[in-house]
A and B are shown apart, each in its own frame.
Chain A
Amino acid sequence: MNFKERFLTAMNHEEPDQVPVMGLIMDPATVNSILGRKPTDFVGLLHKPLLGYPIKALLNTNWFWNNMYYSNTAGALEGAIKLGFDANWTIYAIMKLDKDSRASSGWSWYDPFGRIWDLAADADGNIAVNYSRALCDTEDKWEQWVQKRAPLFEDMITNIVSFHKKLNSYGDRIYPIGYAAPGIFENSWQPIGFVNFTRLIYQKPAFVKKVIDFHTELYLKSLDAVMKSDVEVVLGGDDLGQKTGPMMRPELIEKFLGESYRRVTQFVHERKRKFVFHCCGNIYALLDKFIEWGFDGIITLEPTAGMELGRVREQVGHKLVLIGNMDVSYLMVKGTQQEVEDAVKKAIRDAARGGGYILSTSHSHPTVDPVRLKWMVDAAHRYGRYPLSL
Chain B
Amino acid sequence: MDAALKAVDEVVKSQNKSAVKEAVDAVTQALQVVGKRFQNGEWFLSELVYAGEISKEIMNLLSPLMQSEPSQSQGTILIGTVAGDLHDLGKNIFINYARSAGFKVVDLGVDVPTGKFVSAVREHKPIALGMSCLLTSTEPELGKVIQELKKQGLREGVKIVIGGAALSQRVADDIAADAFAPDAITGLDIIKGWSISK
Contacts and interface: CB of A to CB of B under 8 A. Distances in A.
Interface string B12-45: 0000000000000000000000000001010111
Nearest to B137: A367
A128 B137 contact: yes
B53 to A, nearest CB: 6
Interface stretch (A175-183, A326-334, A340-348): A326-334
Contacts of A281: 165
Contacts of A201: 46, 50
Nearest to A196: B53
Instruction: Tell me which of A248, A329, A333 has the highest count of chain B C-beta atoms within 10 A of its own C-beta.
Output: A329
A249 interface: yes
Contacts of A242: 45, 165
B107 to A, nearest CB: 15
Contacts of B135: 130, 365
B137 A365 contact: yes
Contacts of A304: 165-168
B165 A130 contact: no
Instruction: Tell me which of B39, B47, B165, B167 has the highest count of chain A C-beta atoms within 10 A of its own C-beta.
Output: B165
Given A329-B166, A329-B167, A131 B44 contact: no
B84 A120 contact: yes
Contact of A244 (B111, B167, B182): B182
Contact of A246 (B39, B44, B50): B44
Interface string A221-252: 00000000000000000000011111111001
B49 A195 contact: yes
Contacts of B53: 195, 198-199
Nearest to B186: A244
Chain A: interface size category: 35 or more
Given A246-B44, A367-B137, A305 B165 contact: yes
A366 B47 CA distance: 33
Given A104-B84, A128-B137, A198 B183 contact: no
Nearest to A29: B137
A247 B45 contact: yes
Contacts of A132: 86
Nearest to A117: B86
Contact of B41 (A104, A248, A285): A285
Contacts of B170: 330
Interface in A126-156: 128, 130-133
Interface string B154-193: 0000000000011110110000000000110000000000
B7 interface: no
B86 A118 contact: yes
A203 B168 contact: no
A328 B137 CA distance: 10
A218 B41 CA distance: 33
A243 B182 CA distance: 7
Contact of A194 (B44, B89, B166, B182): B89
A96 B183 CA distance: 34
A198 B84 contact: no
Contacts of A104: 84, 111
Interface in A269-313: 280-281, 285, 304-305
Contacts of A194: 46, 49, 89
Given A128-B137, A202-B50, A195 B92 contact: yes
A266 B180 CA distance: 42
A202 B1 contact: yes
B136 interface: yes
Contacts of B43: 249
A195 B47 CA distance: 10
A195 B111 CA distance: 20
A308 to B, nearest CB: 14
Interface in A100-118: 104, 118
B98 to A, nearest CB: 16
Q: Which 5 A-B pairs have the closest CB atoms?
A: A248-B46, A247-B45, A198-B49, A198-B46, A249-B44
30 contacts: A128-B137, A130-B135, A132-B86, A195-B89, A198-B46, A199-B53, A201-B46, A202-B1, A202-B50, A203-B1, A243-B165, A243-B183, A244-B41, A245-B41, A246-B44, A246-B45, A247-B44, A248-B44, A248-B45, A248-B46, A249-B44, A252-B44, A304-B168, A305-B165, A328-B136, A329-B168, A330-B170, A365-B135, A365-B137, A366-B137
Given A201-B50, A329-B136, 4 more contacts: A128-B137, A130-B86, A202-B1, A329-B171
